[in-house]
Amino acid sequence: RWASSHSPYQPFMAGYFVRLLMAVLLTALAKAFPPGASSFMEHSSWFGALSAIGLVTSFSSTLMFTALGSFFNRISDPVMGGAYLTLLNTIANMGIILPKIGLYAAMDWLTVSSCRAGGAGGAVVAGLACPKKIRELAGSNECTNAGHTCQLDMDGFYSVSFAMACVGLLLGLAFARLFPYLTRLPLQRWRAKHSSLKAA
């Protein structure tokens, strides 16, 4: 009920900042998560924390979606029927999906691995490539076949996560100022021009 209220500003912003906080906590949890942990019985607290973050993230996403849908439903032009509402939802969905392509590419680009002589921390061996995936570092590749060790120097996941958390905070502060202005606009400002219909 709260999310679908007449003024969706508060539920949307609450969901936004809760979701942003969960993203930061999830990054920290991923960093601290025990390597190789696969048994819930042996690492119940870690998997419990992961489940809790996922649950809160899902709740906050639903809160934002419902509030945004309520706002779209209020401002959509009834003359255009569901086409206007569909257009607004499509634009919102594109804003969620399209950035992922660039972010995944940035994660891969920012991930750096190197070939080390004498084990991890040793001198860098030039000319021998190493894979970027952690699971493949110890596998068969140019470096390990030559008797050296592959080492992950920088994980692009954490670089991108930190950068996007900062961007998300800035966007949230901008939304906090912009959203009240948009909700106060008269409904007539959201209506499409129907001059062609009148002429007909």
Phi, psi of 172 (to 5 degrees): -60, -40
Residue 190's pLDDT band, with cuts at 50, 70 and 90, is: confident
Whether 193 shows a pLDDT value over 80: the answer reads no
- What does the pLDDT average to over 134-143? 86
Whether 200 shows a pLDDT value over 60: the answer reads no
pLDDT in tens, 9-57: 888 999 999 999 999 999 999 999 887 777 777 888 999 999 999 999 9
Closest Cα to residue 47, out of 61, 37, 60, 56?
A: 37
| Residue 76 near residue 113, CB atoms below 8 Å | no
For all residues of the chain together, what is the average pLDDT? 86
Residue 4's pLDDT band, with cuts at 50, 70 and 90, is: low
- What does the pLDDT average to over 148-164? 93
* pLDDT of 68: 87
Distances (CA, A) of 173 to 14, 61, 85: 12, 18, 26
Tokens of 118: 């004498």
Whether 195 shows a pLDDT value over 60: the answer reads no
pLDDT in tens, 33-42: 887 777 777 8
Residue partners of 158: CB distance under 8 A and separation at least 6: 27, 31
- R_g (Cα) of the chain, nearest Å: 24
Percent of the chain having pLDDT more than 90? 43
- What does the pLDDT average to over 131-136? 86
pLDDT in tens, 80-108: 777 878 888 888 888 888 899 999 999 99
pTM for this model (two decimals): 0.80
Residue partners of 43: CB distance under 8 A and separation at least 6: 34, 37
